[in-house]
């Protein structure tokens, strides 16, 4: 029988070591993504990464968030050397890797996030450099963020490169690796206000590395909100729960207090309901705060001080009956129902 793809199987063995069913069209190796995710020093020995050398596709049975699959060229490009890749291309003839959309896919789902090369930590800034001082003054004077917080959260800035004139607020995962960052301009009139890396946001928990799941966890909207109340606080980077955070909450069930912006009453309740469903046996652990007035946490702190932020958060509660009726109508994003009940 003619085994399709046999001519390049040795490249796969060179990259991954042990190959199951070597010499057949359907082979298996240990998945490097699984190894990375589980933080293992060695391959996991499970051979979950399936490769069909005839159709030149691969697929890991275990990786699901995100799924890890695609063309063999991509796999080799990711884990092999340039030599491996060039040799593979000489056999396979077609460079799938460079075909449309692939680069974007890889950036979105595969490539690790790295802080901008040009980033300077505030702890390393040059006080004689006007541009450094400009960035620093933005945080201290305009955002009213303290030095302690700036150093503690390893905040930096860029004066050149793609993220020039932006404050960089990094996020670290539980292994201490960067998993995201927020790039906020400190110059007036610059668009976009925020420039963040392109990643699948479903995969990250902002600052997961410093969250204590045995203590009360606060959920807020943005990174600056989190810096306003930096006590075990996770910025959602939006108003909804991503899949990873949802999974971790369900597993660890910490006390949760949701503090969305005052314009987000609906989303606040929706989130409350969503998390309560995850906490089937202990729904009382979930509470939320409706902020008074129109200001978000960051504005409250800047205008009225830290004490007022704490006062507001102390008012965390379970929703009233009326809140719940409102909430139940919006589950499932039933906008019509919601608009209707809101008029009453």
Shortest distance in whole angstroms from residue 103 CB to Zn ion: 21
| Contact with Zn ion (CB under 5 A) among 62, 108, 144, 253 | 62
Nearer to Zn ion, 31 or 125 (CB): 31
Pick the binder of Zn ion from 5, 19, 33, 139 (CB under 5 A): 33
Footprint on residues 195-234 left by Zn ion (CB under 5 A): none
Q: Which of 15, 31, 155, 258 binds Zn ion (CB under 5 A)?
A: 31
Least separation in angstroms between CB 33 and Zn ion: 4
**Cis bond leading into 270, ω under 30°?**
no
Q: How far is the CB of 105 from Zn ion (least distance, A)?
A: 16
Q: Considering the rule CB under 5 A, would residue 60 count as an interface residue with Zn ion?
A: yes
Cα-flanking dihedrals φ and ψ of residue 210, to 5°?
Answer: -110, 10
* Phi and psi at residue 61, to the nearest 5°: -75, -20
Binding Zn ion (rule: CB under 5 A), the pick from 54, 63, 140, 178 is 63
When the beta carbons of 60 and 249 are compared against Zn ion, the nearer one is: 60
Q: Where are the alpha helices (DSSP H) in the chain?
A: 9-16, 32-38, 72-79, 82-92, 102-109, 130-137, 147-152, 223-228, 243-252, 265-278, 297-304, 306-314, 321-330, 335-343
| Residue with Cβ nearer Zn ion (67 or 147) | 67
Judged by DSSP in three states, 218 sits in strand
What is the DSSP-derived secondary structure letter of residue 112? P
Q: Does 51 bind Zn ion (CB under 5 A)?
A: no
* Shortest Å distance, C-beta 244 to Zn ion: 16
Pick from 42, 106, 46, 39: nearest CA to 71: 106
Residues that bind Zn ion (CB under 5 A): 31, 33-34, 60, 62-63
């Amino acid at each position: 029988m003619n085994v399709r793809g046999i001519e390049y199987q040795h490249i796969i063995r060179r990259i991954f070591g042990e190959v199951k069913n070597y010499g057949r069209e359907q082979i298996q190796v240990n998945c490097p993504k699984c190894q990375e995710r589980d933080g293992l020093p060695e391959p996991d020995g499970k051979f979950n990464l399936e490769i069909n050398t005839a159709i030149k596709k691969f697929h890991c049975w275990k990786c699901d968030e995100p799924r890890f699959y695609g063309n063999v060229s991509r796999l080799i490009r990711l884990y092999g050397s340039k030599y491996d890749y060039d040799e593979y291309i000489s056999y396979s003839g077609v460079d799938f890797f460079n075909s449309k959309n692939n680069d974007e896919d890889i950036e979105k789902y595969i490539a690790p996030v790295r802080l901008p090369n040009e980033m300077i930590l505030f702890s390393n800034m040059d006080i004689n450099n006007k541009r450094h001082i400009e960035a620093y003054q933005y945080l201290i004077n305009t955002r009213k963020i303290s030095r302690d917080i700036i150093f503690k959260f390893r905040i930096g800035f860029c004066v050149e490169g793609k993220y020039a004139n932006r404050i960089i607020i990094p996020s670290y995962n539980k292994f201490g690796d960067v998993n995201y960052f927020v790039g906020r301009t400190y110059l007036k009139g610059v668009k976009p206000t925020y420039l963040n890396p392109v990643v699948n946001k479903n995969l990250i928990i902002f600052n997961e590395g410093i969250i204590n799941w045995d203590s009360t966890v606060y959920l807020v909207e943005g990174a600056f909100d989190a810096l306003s109340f930096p006590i075990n606080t996770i910025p959602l980077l939006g108003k909804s729960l991503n899949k990873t955070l949802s999974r971790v909450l369900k597993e660890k069930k910490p006390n949760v207090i949701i503090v969305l912006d005052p314009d987000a009453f609906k989303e606040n309740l929706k989130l409350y309901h969503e998390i309560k469903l995850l906490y089937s046996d202990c729904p009382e652990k979930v509470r939320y705060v409706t902020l008074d007035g129109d200001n978000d946490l960051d504005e409250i702190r800047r205008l009225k001080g830290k004490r007022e932020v704490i006062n507001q958060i102390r008012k965390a509660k379970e929703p009233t009956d009326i809140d719940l009726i409102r909430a139940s109508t919006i589950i499932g994003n039933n906008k019509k129902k919601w608009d209707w009940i809101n008029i009453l």
